Amino acid sequence: MGKLRIAVEMPEDALAISQLSRRAAGEEMRRLFFLDLVRQGRLSHAKAAELLDISLAEFLAFMARHHVSPFAFSEGELERELERAR
């Protein structure tokens, strides 16, 4: 799968306020992008973790840090997520 580079403009003070390096800020934005897709129901937890190249457990912990419940989907979706995690 190919990769895409996206440039983002923001105020110069943004990095100082965030106390993140450019690299860390970029990674945080990348993770937040996938988190939002999961929140919208457009992407599964497992697929988001796969695309981010992190474990499902790490992505679920990221969701928790951002107060996003992993249980905001139907029973059928939950069953599919559990199967993917096995």
Global pTM? 0.76
Predicted confidence (pLDDT) per residue in 19-71, tens digit: 999 999 999 999 999 999 999 989 999 999 999 999 999 999 999 999 888 87
Higher pLDDT, 53 or 77: 53
Integer Cα distance of 59 and 21 in angstroms: 21
SS (H, E, C) the chain: CCCCCCCCCCCCHHHHHHCCCHHHHHHHHHHHHHHHHHHCCCCCHHHHHHHHCCCHHHHHHHHHHCCCCCCCCCHHHHHHHHHHHC
What pLDDT does 35 receive?
Answer: 97
